[in-house]
Amino acid sequence: MPETEVHGPIDFVLMEFTGDRLTGRAAEEVVSLMQRGIIHVYDVMIVGKDADGAVYAVDLAESSDRAGGFAELEGARTGLLADDDLNAAAGAMQPGTLAALIVYENTWAIPFVAAALESGGTLIAGGRIPAEDVMEALEAMETVEAT
């Protein structure tokens, strides 16, 4: 292992949900990923945008009925997310929705990162393809193959 502490890549997701309450299903999966050591959650912020476009934050400690299972992650506040992140998230949202903004580390990648660093590797590029884009592309390929 390198002498410095090794971390996995850090990602964020902003998942928008219709309505003013979360059911908890998505949060259950985040907690499961954490419990299995696949990710480490640094920050969770629930952002709302009412029908008139007014933006608000949902306090996870006080609004567990509204935040669904994300209330279980109320201690995930490192300070990486700030008020300007709340406003940026709200700018991407539709009126009448709630969104979960989650910053997490891909802990599954730590051994790979350490091995790459030990062997002199340097990350020179990276990226992410949204899941919806992948699903659409695979579906289109299946359609073409079927014809």
pLDDT at 3: 63
pLDDT at 1: 46
Sign of CA pseudo-dihedral 54, 50, 60, 13: negative
End-to-end CA distance of the chain: 51
pLDDT at 67: 75
CB-based contact 46:67 (threshold 8 Å): yes
pLDDT at 34: 93
pTM: 0.84
* CA–CA separation, 40 and 33 (whole Å): 8
In which residue ranges of the chain is pLDDT below 50?
1
